[in-house]
């Protein structure tokens, strides 16, 4: 049976010197191999085809019967690794937290502990803010723009927020 380590080694050799990164490698019990890749600027189908040919050249069909799919991580699919978050810094992401909350915020930073997003929602309309005393309005506006730090343990899933 083909192993994830084998496929990972072949793929990493094929993408050395590029910004392409492995999101996941799935191998089912029937040797159905799925390799999901990504790149900061997106991934071309020709690149996926090239990497697929590299994998096929390295495996022996006489020894192993397998199916192979090399694809880019899909738009709207939940992020699986830290690099996918790094790819969208400065953009809006949709988060589902383990406490059940769902939020859409701008991603500011990513580190080993978690992520930092902006708190952009306020319970006050623009006209209500204008009517507030200056000191109170400053407090509300500062709270509104306050960054929120979330640990990896708090995040159930995250995707890039796509607006059509």
Query: What pLDDT does residue 61 have?
Result: 82
Triad 105, 108, 109: Cα angle to 5°: 130
pLDDT for position 125: 67
Element spanning 104, H or E: strand 102-110
CB 45 within 8 A of CB 80: no
- Give CA separation, 83 vs 56, 65, 89, 99, in Å: 26, 32, 10, 24
Q: Is 77 within a domain? A: no
So what's the pLDDT on residue 88? 93
CATH of the domain at 127: 2.30.30.100
The answer to whether residues 145 and 117 touch, using CB atoms and an 8 Å cutoff, is: no
Residue 149: CB partners within 8 Å, gap ≥ 6? 113, 114, 115, 116
Give the residue from 73, 149, 151, 141 showing the smallest Cα distance to 105. Answer: 149
Number of domains in the chain: 2
- Could you list the residue range(s) of the whole structural domain that residue 59 is in? 4-72
Q: Is residue 46 part of a domain?
A: yes
Q: What CATH number does the domain containing 54 carry?
A: 3.30.300
72, 92, 114 - which closes a domain:
72
Q: What is the pLDDT of residue 64?
A: 84
Contact call for residues 138 and 120 (beta carbons, < 8 A) = no
What string of pLDDT tens digits covers the 164 residues of the chain? Answer: 889 999 999 999 999 999 999 999 999 988 899 999 999 988 999 999 999 999 999 998 888 889 999 999 887 899 999 999 999 999 999 999 999 989 889 999 999 999 999 876 556 666 776 777 878 777 766 666 678 899 999 999 999 998 77
Are both 135 and 115 inside the same structural domain? yes
Q: Give this prediction's pTM.
A: 0.78
- Same domain, yes or no: 34 and 52: yes
pLDDT, residue 48, reads 96
In this structure, the answer to whether residues 148 and 99 fall within a common structural domain is yes
pLDDT at residue 71 in the model = 95
């Amino acid at each position: 049976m083909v192993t994830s380590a084998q496929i990972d080694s072949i793929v990493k050799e094929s993408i050395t010197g590029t910004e392409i990164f492995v999101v996941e490698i799935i191998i089912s019990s029937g040797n159905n191999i799925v390799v999901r890749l990504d790149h900061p600027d997106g991934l071309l189908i020709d690149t996926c085809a090239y990497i697929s040919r590299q994998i096929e050249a390295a495996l022996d069909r006489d020894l192993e019967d397998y199916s192979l799919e090399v694809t880019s991580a899909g738009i709207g699919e939940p992020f699986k690794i830290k690099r996918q978050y790094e790819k969208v810094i400065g953009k809006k992401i949709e988060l589902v937290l383990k406490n059940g909350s769902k939020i859409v915020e701008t991603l500011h930073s990513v580190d080993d502990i978690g992520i930092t997003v902006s708190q952009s929602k306020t319970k006050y309309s623009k006209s209500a803010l204008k009517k507030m005393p200056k000191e109170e309005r400053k407090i509300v506006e500062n709270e509104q723009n306050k960054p929120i730090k979330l640990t990896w343990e708090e995040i159930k899933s995250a995707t890039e927020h796509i607006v059509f």
